[in-house]
A and B are shown apart, each in its own frame.
Chain A
Amino acid sequence: MRHWIVRHLGVFRLDQPSLWLKRLFLLSNTDELTELAHLKIKSRPEPLDWLAEKLGVVDKRSVRQWLLYLFIFPPGHAARTETSLWSTLLTLSVSLINLLFLTIEWIVQAGVRTLRWLGQQLLSFLPAVDHEALGRRLEGWLETPSFRKPLLLWLLVLLSIFFFWLIVTTPFTWFGQFLFLVCLWGTALFVQRIPGNLPALILIALSVLASCRYGWWRLTQTIPLDSGWETFLAICLLLAEIYTWLVLLLGYIQNAWPLKRHTSSLPLDTSLWPSVDVFIPTYNEPLKVLEPTVLAAKGIDWPSDKLNIYILDDGRRDEFRRFAKEAGVGYIIRPDNVHAKAGNLNHALKLTHGEYVAIFDCDHLPTNSFLRSTMGWFFKDKRCAMLQTPHHFFSPDTFERNLGTFRRVPNEGALFYGLIQDGNDFWNATFFCGSCAVLRRGPLEEVGGVAVETVTEDAHTALKLHRLGYTTAYINIPLAAGLATESLSSHIGQRIRWARGMAQIFRIDNPFLGKGLSFFQRICYSNAMLHFFYGIPRLIFLTAPLTYLYFEVHIISAAAAMLAVYVLPHMLQANLANAHIQGAHRHSFWAEVYESVLAWYIILPTALAIFNPKAGKFNVTAKGGLIEHSFFDWTISKPYIVLAALNIVGLTIGLVRFFFWNTFEMGTVLLNLTWTAYNLLILGAAIGVATEARQVRVSHRVSTNLLAALHFMDGSTRMCRTEDYSMTGLGLLLDREFELPVKERVWISLWYGEVECTFPARVIASHGNKLGVQFDNLSIEQEANLVQCTFARADAWRNWSNEQDVDRPLQSFKEIAIFGFKGYRSLWRNLVKGLTRQRQLVRS
């Protein structure tokens, strides 16, 4: 028995504890897993032999040969035609999928139209409801003294708990459960049409009900207890589900009532305004990145005697010192780089004296209204210690660039800055995010400066402030903007740091323990930290159906139909509630893609941070490994490729099971097949992100329509508008066609407010009514003016997401499915390309 488990776990050397740990908490790697597959499949030799013969696999025990002949070497020598056949097949399947979805969409839309018509007929019988008046009346009731009695409240709470318990625990037949599904779904569809925030709460309640009911059923009825092997896997899956259930619940509490704070006005008398130090920490970023940030910070609209800007250079570069002098800003260095950014900030805190500290990462350009829009809250709330604004990115991140979704689909950060921080703000639990924020110096010094114990110093600092009873605030207006991470490897590196830091805080300063926090602050912090443990659960979900497809292990002991009617309301309600709450900030199914890309990479850092939070060295190795190989994109995507390969094999076996081997439980096979197919799509999208065609970014251009004027050398002028801008040039749009010789010298006028600024430039492209110009040796004043006219305009980032598509779950799923197929196609192409190159190398 022991040997059996050991072998199935993939622990081949029993005396090696690290291998045990690794196998228990990580998935086995390719070789070992395929050995398992080999063992299992060997018992059914006929199809395998046939396949081996067809493919030309000589040594059937060699995994490598199988892989090579299955996926890479086409049989015989007809490599070329075979390859094109494969790609045609893949291309064909993309179009097929498209067609399939179009058909489904059409059918669903037709259904929706009919239902809507029916609904309208039905609604026309009902009197029109004045939702606002109703809301006011409801609130009025709650204010009446009879409702204010604590006894009544407790009675209501007890009653709700009783009914909740009743609904969650009453067993139904499958038909009863089906009716439950229909009722809940119908109610949700009706409720979500009501405006306001109350329906969000109702949807949350419905979702919690469905999820708890599912959870109860899973816990009490579906754990197989007969064999050790099955029970173990079942409990793994169950734990993963409990984790997601917990995060779902905590998320609901966190986002129940987004605060959506407005700006608060400042006193008219500017002599009352406090002094502010602006810190711009930098370590290894090039001057080209820092320069615009400093110039933008200089342009912040604030009394000049009360605004001090400091470059905190941990790189100690002369070039930066010269620039600081030229720009007229402070320059602070320190002898060592202890505690990285946090240490850098703390060092500067000791040398400066402003009442407030604003912090900008060196690539975050503040708009000129930054302080005017934020400082008001410090006057209004004397206990406010920190005010955070969103991190806005004007360049596409890895996902957006590789999948082509820039400004169309909300990016990964949109959910956090669009909703979660607003949700946190309601519970007075806004996190500090390290940049684009203002802190009050007193409280910051009281907690000993920026926290240095963890690698996410920002969140930890906010936690310390909250523990002392200070408040924090969030304004969801982008008042600064920067560049997104450029490559998948740096994206993953950054997320590893966050995950690791959050796990560290969870371990050494757990928000559920310790003094000073309110219950809901604890919830918000815990959710933020627990969120980063999604690595293992995500991997479990990506591989769970394989246990059945490979080994016929029933990790959920229930009939497929029963499972479907229980899991469906749980998923449907969660989707409906989340689409209602976060639809504008995260489209359906995208969380799966974002998480799947990172899942593999954050497991080890989070696990290690939990076991040994002080293991500082680890970060270097984890990141080092990534950085070393990051230039070969498909190295990073290896985990997804392995997972995808496993799932493809599983899918194939599953099809065989469906048609030949397991015809007695087709429902179960079908369920697992669907699950696997879904996983494959998500993995495909992840591969699509990873197999990026790398781009060299010179200077990112922001497309915006601004007024501009051209001054020609003969004294004539012409008004135009900008198509895009960057620190190096402009794209201009003229009213009429206009040809200009390339290299022609011109001057360009741009405005901020009433102030006109002119810049010398040269024409680099002229076509029709479009003109491209490049700035010609701008002086530092001119660069500062340029920043003021472009990146630092107060309204520069407003309405950024107006062009975004609305969240339509089916559309969103279709898009991800297509990305999935494209991912496989590009993976195939890259494989073939790499192989040809290697073959040529061998020959020569």
Chain B
Amino acid sequence: MFKIAIVSAAGGVGRSTLTASLAILLAQREIAVLALDFDPQNLLSTLFGSGEASLGGLLPDFLTKKEFGKSALVNSNGVACLPFGRANETSLVTFEQHLRAEPEWLSKCIAQIDYPSEAFLLIDTSRLPSLYARQAIVAADLVLAVLAPDARSLALLPAVEATLSRCAPGSQLIYVVNGLDSTRTLQNDLLARFRSTLQMRLSPYPVHRDEAIPRAVANRTNLQSLSPDSLVAHDLNGLLNWLLAGPASSLDGKV
């Protein structure tokens, strides 16, 4: 199983959206995929068509000592999603204490899942610095850091690098710009900055801001069937192709 952690240092850059979009795209290409919501906000499942945030999930399972992954859901596109599950403050405190004590908890849990070896696991995390993101980084083969084309993300770039080198020095870290409005000169300039700083580690396909995504979520349908010729669909396809041909293929043939 090929594991990708989706992280970001700034909030609201579209981690969950990107995770969901990539997962759906993978499923459409008939590659088995599991999207893991490792963010207490517990919203990922809504992006796959679930009406409301799921009650069950990995946190309730952990508290009730159930097997990891028992509450995974599958949507009509064939995407499997393991929600975080509803949490309250006390349960979170308990869980976080456990995570702090055992940095490789998620890694171990994932290892138990019986999933095809060519499958993809996408782990959505909460904003860095966070326990959840650290666990995900440790567990992942590849870390995909999401950047917004704004000054915040540029300023936080060193923080992401530092976190990664601390948690999992061996893992590969790549970047993608999400939510780009290319009609704005400033955003294009920032993209150029990211490009010159990160060079080959930045995906050549920035994901554009596009009404097609919220529209697809609102209509509970997937992007590719709603607006297949939108720019964002093109971007996501490009991003995935780039991942499959480059970063994701370089990892010991697990894919």
> Quick one: which of A709, A714, A755 has the most chain B CB within 10 A?
A709
Known: A716-B210, A758-B183. A709 touches B231 (CB 8 A): yes
Asked if A835 lies at the interface with its beta carbon under 8 angstroms from chain B, I say no
Partner of A714, one of B204, B211, B234: B211
CB contacts under 8 Å to A, within B205-233, are 206, 208-212, 215, 227, 229-233
Query: Chain A contacts of B97 at CB under 8 A?
Result: none
Contact A718 B182 (CB under 8 A): no
Partner of B229, one of A711, A736, A749: A736
CB contacts under 8 Å to A, within B224-255, are 227, 229-234
Partner of A735, one of B183, B188, B211, B229: B229
Query: Chain B contacts of A736 at CB under 8 A?
Result: 229
Asked if B86 lies at the interface with its beta carbon under 8 angstroms from chain A, I say no
**How far is it, in angstroms, between the C-alpha of A734 and the C-alpha of B230 when the chains are bound?**
11
Partner of B210, one of A715, A720, A754, A760: A715
Partner of B182, one of A715, A734, A758: A758
Contact B231 A711 (CB under 8 A): yes
Binary B-proximity of A691-724 (CB < 8 A = 1, otherwise 0): 0000000000000000001010011111110000
Nearest Cβ in chain A — how far from B239, in angstroms? 12
Asked if A378 lies at the interface with its beta carbon under 8 angstroms from chain B, I say no
Asked if A756 lies at the interface with its beta carbon under 8 angstroms from chain B, I say yes
Asked if A747 lies at the interface with its beta carbon under 8 angstroms from chain B, I say yes
Asked if B127 lies at the interface with its beta carbon under 8 angstroms from chain A, I say no
Number of A-B contacts (CB under 8 A): 50
Query: Chain B contacts of A718 at CB under 8 A?
Result: 227, 229-231
Query: Chain A contacts of B230 at CB under 8 A?
Result: 716-719
Contact A754 B183 (CB under 8 A): no
CB-nearest residue of chain A to B206: A756
Contact B231 A717 (CB under 8 A): yes
Nearest Cβ in chain A — how far from B170, in angstroms? 28
Contact A715 B209 (CB under 8 A): yes
**How far is it, in angstroms, between the C-alpha of A424 and the C-alpha of B206 when the chains are bound?**
48
**Chain A interface mostly:** strand
Nearest Cβ in chain B — how far from A170, in angstroms? 70
Binary A-proximity of B6-47 (CB < 8 A = 1, otherwise 0): 000000000000000000000000000000000000000000
Contact A717 B210 (CB under 8 A): yes
**How far is it, in angstroms, between the C-alpha of A411 and the C-alpha of B182 when the chains are bound?**
41
**How far is it, in angstroms, between the C-alpha of A736 and the C-alpha of B228 when the chains are bound?**
11
Partner of A716, one of B182, B188, B227, B234: B227
Contact A754 B231 (CB under 8 A): no
Query: Chain B contacts of A755 at CB under 8 A?
Result: 192
Query: Chain A contacts of B183 at CB under 8 A?
Result: 711, 747, 758, 760
Query: Chain A contacts of B204 at CB under 8 A?
Result: 754
Nearest Cβ in chain B — how far from A716, in angstroms? 4
Partner of A749, one of B182, B209, B227, B233: B182
Contact A711 B211 (CB under 8 A): no
**How far is it, in angstroms, between the C-alpha of A757 and the C-alpha of B185 when the chains are bound?**
9
Asked if B201 lies at the interface with its beta carbon under 8 angstroms from chain A, I say no
CB-nearest residue of chain A to B204: A754
The tally of residues in B whose CB lies under 8 Å from a CB in A reads: 20
CB contacts under 8 Å to A, within B65-91, are none
Contact A711 B182 (CB under 8 A): yes
Known: A717-B212, A754-B195. A734 touches B229 (CB 8 A): yes
Please tell me the size bucket of the interface on A: 20 to 34
Partner of B234, one of A709, A715, A754: A709
Contact A719 B231 (CB under 8 A): yes
CB-nearest residue of chain A to B195: A754
CB contacts under 8 Å to B, within A758-783, are 758, 760
Nearest Cβ in chain B — how far from A838, in angstroms? 59
Partner of A715, one of B206, B211, B233: B211
CB-nearest residue of chain A to B210: A717
Nearest Cβ in chain B — how far from A733, in angstroms? 12
CB-nearest residue of chain B to A753: B204
Query: Chain A contacts of B206 at CB under 8 A?
Result: 756
Nearest Cβ in chain B — how far from A770, in angstroms? 15
**How far is it, in angstroms, between the C-alpha of A734 and the C-alpha of B227 when the chains are bound?**
13
Query: Chain B contacts of A716 at CB under 8 A?
Result: 210-212, 215, 227, 230
Known: A711-B182, A756-B188, A758-B182. A749 touches B211 (CB 8 A): no
Contact B182 A719 (CB under 8 A): no
Nearest Cβ in chain B — how far from A203, in angstroms? 49
CB-nearest residue of chain B to A749: B182
Query: Chain B contacts of A760 at CB under 8 A?
Result: 183
Nearest Cβ in chain B — how far from A713, in angstroms? 10
**How far is it, in angstroms, between the C-alpha of A749 and the C-alpha of B232 when the chains are bound?**
13
**How far is it, in angstroms, between the C-alpha of A717 and the C-alpha of B214 when the chains are bound?**
13
**How far is it, in angstroms, between the C-alpha of A734 and the C-alpha of B228 when the chains are bound?**
12
Nearest Cβ in chain A — how far from B12, in angstroms? 17
**How far is it, in angstroms, between the C-alpha of A711 and the C-alpha of B208 when the chains are bound?**
10
Query: Chain B contacts of A720 at CB under 8 A?
Result: 229
CB-nearest residue of chain A to B231: A717
Query: Chain A contacts of B211 at CB under 8 A?
Result: 714-717
**How far is it, in angstroms, between the C-alpha of A754 and the C-alpha of B212 when the chains are bound?**
23
Nearest Cβ in chain A — how far from B184, in angstroms? 9
**How far is it, in angstroms, between the C-alpha of A563 and the C-alpha of B227 when the chains are bound?**
74
Contact A719 B188 (CB under 8 A): no
> Quick one: which of B195, B206, B210 has the most chain A CB within 10 A?
B210
> Quick one: which of A714, A716, A720, A736 has the most chain B CB within 10 A?
A716
**How far is it, in angstroms, between the C-alpha of A719 and the C-alpha of B230 when the chains are bound?**
6
CB contacts under 8 Å to A, within B158-193, are 182-183, 188, 192
Query: Chain A contacts of B195 at CB under 8 A?
Result: 754
Query: Chain A contacts of B192 at CB under 8 A?
Result: 755
Known: A709-B234, A758-B182. A719 touches B229 (CB 8 A): yes
Query: Chain A contacts of B208 at CB under 8 A?
Result: 717
**How far is it, in angstroms, between the C-alpha of A735 and the C-alpha of B227 when the chains are bound?**
12
**How far is it, in angstroms, between the C-alpha of A754 and the C-alpha of B183 when the chains are bound?**
16
**How far is it, in angstroms, between the C-alpha of A757 and the C-alpha of B191 when the chains are bound?**
12
**How far is it, in angstroms, between the C-alpha of A715 and the C-alpha of B232 when the chains are bound?**
11
**How far is it, in angstroms, between the C-alpha of A735 and the C-alpha of B230 when the chains are bound?**
11
**How far is it, in angstroms, between the C-alpha of A498 and the C-alpha of B138 when the chains are bound?**
73
Query: Chain B contacts of A735 at CB under 8 A?
Result: 229
Query: Chain A contacts of B212 at CB under 8 A?
Result: 716-717
Query: Chain A contacts of B182 at CB under 8 A?
Result: 711, 747, 749, 756, 758
> Quick one: which of A735, A756, A760 has the most chain B CB within 10 A?
A756
CB-nearest residue of chain B to A755: B192
Nearest Cβ in chain B — how far from A815, in angstroms? 41
Nearest Cβ in chain A — how far from B136, in angstroms? 28
Nearest Cβ in chain A — how far from B96, in angstroms? 38
Nearest Cβ in chain A — how far from B39, in angstroms? 26
CB-nearest residue of chain A to B230: A717
Nearest Cβ in chain A — how far from B192, in angstroms? 8
Nearest Cβ in chain A — how far from B182, in angstroms? 5
Query: Chain A contacts of B229 at CB under 8 A?
Result: 718-720, 734-736
Nearest Cβ in chain A — how far from B214, in angstroms? 9
Contact B210 A749 (CB under 8 A): no
**How far is it, in angstroms, between the C-alpha of A736 and the C-alpha of B227 when the chains are bound?**
11
**How far is it, in angstroms, between the C-alpha of A747 and the C-alpha of B183 when the chains are bound?**
7
Binary B-proximity of A319-347 (CB < 8 A = 1, otherwise 0): 00000000000000000000000000000
CB-nearest residue of chain B to A708: B231
> Quick one: which of B208, B227, B229, B233 has the most chain A CB within 10 A?
B229
**How far is it, in angstroms, between the C-alpha of A734 and the C-alpha of B206 when the chains are bound?**
22
Residues of chain A whose beta carbon lies under 8 Å from any beta carbon of chain B:
709, 711, 714-720, 734-736, 747, 749, 754-758, 760
What are some 18 contacts across the A-B interface (CB < 8 A)? A709-B231, A711-B182, A711-B231, A714-B211, A716-B211, A716-B212, A716-B215, A717-B208, A717-B211, A717-B230, A717-B231, A719-B230, A734-B229, A735-B229, A756-B188, A758-B183, A758-B188, A760-B183
A717-B232, A747-B182 are known; give 12 further A-B pairs, CB within 8 A: A709-B234, A711-B183, A714-B211, A715-B210, A716-B230, A717-B208, A717-B212, A717-B230, A718-B229, A735-B229, A754-B204, A758-B188
Top 6 closest A-B pairs, CB basis?
Answer: A717-B231, A715-B211, A716-B211, A754-B204, A709-B231, A747-B183
